[in-house]
Amino acid sequence: MREVALGCGNFGGVGSAPAFFGQGIEHDEAFAIMDRAWAAGITWFDTGDAYGGGTSERWIGEWIRERGARPKLTTKVFHSTTGTPGDTGLAPERIRRQIHASLERLGVDRVDYYLAHEPDPDVPLEKTIACFESLREEGLIAAWGLSNYELRELRETSPALVQNSFSLLERADEADVLPHCRERGIPYVPFGPLAGGWLTGKYRRGEPFPEGSRMTQRPGPYERFVDDLVFEALDALADEAASRGVSMAGLALAWVMHRCDGAVCGPNRATHLDPVLEAMQLELTNEDVVRIGGFFP
C-alpha cells in the first residue's frame, strides 16, 4: 500500500477542539494545499466530521465541486461538530446522523473509509461495528476502520484500516499493534508522523517555540518531548539528514513510510508538502531504519 493521505485536520480549526473552531489553516491556503497535493499525485484526503466544526469537510466538498476531482476520502466520527457538551460518541443512532451530515458537507454519496475516531466506553464496540457494516451494505461507506485503538480492541475486530499515532517519537504500537496488523493484513496508516512538528527541526533546545506552532496552541500531547535526550536524538537525525542531502522532516517521514503502509501528512502550508514529496522518493534499507530508530529514546 504505502500511500500518503493528505491530512486536512487543521482546515478551519485545529483538529476537533471546539476552542479552535474558525482558526487553523485559512480557506485559500487549504485550497492551495489540496491543489498541490493533487498535482503531486496525492489523491487520498483524510478528514473528520468535527475538524474545524465541520469546516474541513465543507472545504473539501467545495474543492471537489470546483475542481471536478474526486479524491479517495476518509472521514471520522466521535467528536462534536458544534462543541455541544455530550454530543459525542459512537452510538448507532448518532453514527447514522453524523454520516449523513458528513456526506452532505463533502458533497458525495459515499466515503471510502469511515473511522471511529476513538473508543467510546459507553457503547459496546460490536454495536458500533454492526452500524458500520449496515452503512457499508447500504453503500454509504466503502469500508470502515478504527483510529486511536489499542491491541485488545483490535483483536476483536477486522477493520479495513487502522490509524493511530506513530513516529520516531511515538512508537507504542511497535510492540503489538504493528505486528498484529501485519499478521492480519490490516493496512496501518498512522497520523502524526512528524510528532506535531518536533521532527522537522523547528523546536530547538533553549529557544522559544515558534509562534503559531503546536507547542503554542495545543502543547499537551507534546510537552514530554521537552527533554535533553529528545534534543540529542533530533541532533542525530539532523546530522543524518544533512549527510543524505535531505530535510529532517523528509527523512522522518520516509522512516515511518518504510515501517507502515503509508502515512497521513497534514501540512499547514502548500510549501510544507516539500518534505512529503521528498519522502516519497527516499529509499531506506532495513539497516537504515534500525539505526535511525536507535537515535531516539
pTM: 0.94
Q: What per-residue string of b and e applies to 282-297 under the rule 16 or more CB within 10 Å gives b?
A: bebeeebeeebeebbe
pLDDT at 1: 54
pLDDT at 11: 98
Domains of the chain: 1-163 (3.20.20.100), 194-297 (no CATH)
- Please state the rounded mean pLDDT for residues 136-143: 98
Residue 96 cell numbers, joined: 447514522
The pLDDT tens digits of the residues spanning 108-128 come to 999 999 999 999 999 999 999
pLDDT at 205: 83
| Nearest-angstrom CA–CA distance, 159 and 204 | 39
Average model confidence (pLDDT) for the chain? 95
How many C-beta atoms surround the C-beta of residue 279 within 10 A?
Answer: 25
Assess whether pLDDT exceeds 70 at residue 133: yes
Name the amino acid, one letter, at 193: P
pLDDT at 70: 98
Of 25-29, 166-170, 213-217, 277-281, least confident by mean pLDDT is 213-217
Helix H or strand E encompassing 152: helix 151-154
How many C-beta atoms surround the C-beta of residue 54 within 10 A?
Answer: 21
Report the 3 state secondary structure along 190-236.
Answer: CECCCHHHHHHCCCCCCCCCCCCCHHHHCCHHHHHHCCHHHHHHHHH
Question: When comparing pLDDT for 220 and 270, which is higher?
Answer: 270
Helix H or strand E encompassing 98: helix 92-106
Whose cell is 480557506? That residue is 27
Read off the pLDDT band of 25 (50, 70, 90).
very high
The pLDDT tens digits of the residues spanning 151-204 come to 999 998 999 999 999 999 999 999 999 999 999 999 999 999 999 899 998 888
- Please state the rounded mean pLDDT for residues 255-281: 97
Assess whether pLDDT exceeds 90 at residue 217: no
| Nearest-angstrom CA–CA distance, 217 and 81 | 20
The pLDDT tens digits of the residues spanning 53-93 come to 999 999 999 999 999 999 999 999 999 999 999 999 999 99
Residue 175 cell numbers, joined: 510492540
- pLDDT cut 70: percent of the chain above it: 100
Residue 11 near residue 25 (C-beta atoms within 8 A): yes
Assess whether pLDDT exceeds 80 at residue 106: yes
- Please state the rounded mean pLDDT for residues 268-284: 96
Sequence-distant (6+) residues with CB within 8 A of 202 are: 210, 213
